[in-house]
């Protein structure tokens, strides 16, 4: 009898205030959506760091077999890319924040994005991706083996990023992995090939 009364009271409260239930569901959906967006941004940042740094290192390796030159160029690319990603994300989120502030009177409870947090997340994600080819090349002296290891590790990591992105976006995993890996190969191949051309022509 008590359970029936509790159920009746609960249904009565739900009927009297249906907006509370809808609001709760919307808040949960918004929270999950924001987390998914942050994770996708992190995956993309790490992917950018990996592809750009690996391509830069392979480009330098195409004209100079010195391991130190590859590592230094990769480290410089990591720093430059991380700073660029952080500044770009900071400016982007500041612009988004200005727009949302202008519309704040429509939804006073909406959480505004943090430019500093977004900048730090982008820089960190880029750096994590860039560390993969750096660590791969830093301890290998043989030139051909070093190039092969950088490409192999970059390929494996790109495939992993593609899988994570597909799961977060609920997209076909195989197609997403293939797209990410092929894109990375294209960037690395074009960079390596053009630098080889410059070396061959003596430019």
Residue 20 resides in a domain:
no
> Any idea how long the chain is?
203
* Predicted local distance difference test score (pLDDT) of residue 203: 55
Residue 24 resides in a domain:
no
- State whether residue 28 is helix, strand or coil: helix
* Predicted local distance difference test score (pLDDT) of residue 2: 43
Residue 81 resides in a domain:
yes
* Predicted local distance difference test score (pLDDT) of residue 14: 47
* Predicted local distance difference test score (pLDDT) of residue 155: 92
Residue 164 resides in a domain:
yes
Nearest to 191 by CA among 66, 43, 70, 42: 70
Number of structural domains (the chain) is 1
* Predicted local distance difference test score (pLDDT) of residue 143: 85
Distance of CA 156 to the CA centre of its chain: 16
* Predicted local distance difference test score (pLDDT) of residue 161: 87
- Cα(23)–Cα(37) distance, rounded to whole angstroms? 21
CB-based burial label for 129 (10 Å; 0-12, 13-18, 19+)? buried
Contact 82, 45 (CB under 8 A): no
Residue 79 resides in a domain:
yes
Residue 162 resides in a domain:
yes
Contact 66, 57 (CB under 8 A): no
* Predicted local distance difference test score (pLDDT) of residue 193: 87
Residue 19 resides in a domain:
no
Q: Mean pLDDT per segment of 10 residues, for the chain of length 203 residues?
A: 45 46 49 64 83 90 85 88 83 76 66 76 86 85 88 91 81 86 90 83 64
- Cα(107)–Cα(96) distance, rounded to whole angstroms? 15
Residue 58 resides in a domain:
yes
Domain that residue 139 falls in: 46-201
């Amino acid at each position: 009898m008590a359970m029936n009364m509790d159920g009746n009271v609960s249904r009565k409260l739900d009927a009297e205030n249906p907006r509370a239930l809808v609001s709760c569901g919307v808040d949960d959906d918004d929270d999950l959506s924001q987390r998914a967006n942050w994770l996708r941004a992190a995956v993309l940042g790490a992917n950018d760091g990996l592809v750009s740094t690996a391509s830069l290192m392979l480009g330098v390796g195409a004209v100079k077999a010195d391991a130190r030159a590859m590592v230094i160029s990769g480290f410089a690319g990591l720093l430059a890319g991380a700073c660029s990603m952080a500044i770009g994300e900071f400016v982007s989120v500041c612009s988004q924040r200005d727009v949302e502030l202008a519309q704040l009177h429509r939804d006073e409870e909406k959480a505004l994005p943090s430019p500093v947090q977004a900048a730090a997340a982008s820089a960190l994600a880029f750096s994590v991706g860039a560390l993969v080819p750096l660590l791969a090349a830093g301890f290998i002296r043989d030139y051909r083996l070093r190039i092969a290891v950088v490409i192999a590790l970059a390929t494996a990591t790109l495939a992993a990023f593609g899988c994570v992105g597909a799961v977060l976006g609920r997209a076909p995993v195989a197609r997403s992995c293939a797209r990410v890996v092929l894109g990375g190969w294209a960037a690395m191949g074009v960079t390596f090939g053009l630098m080889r051309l410059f070396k061959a022509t003596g430019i």
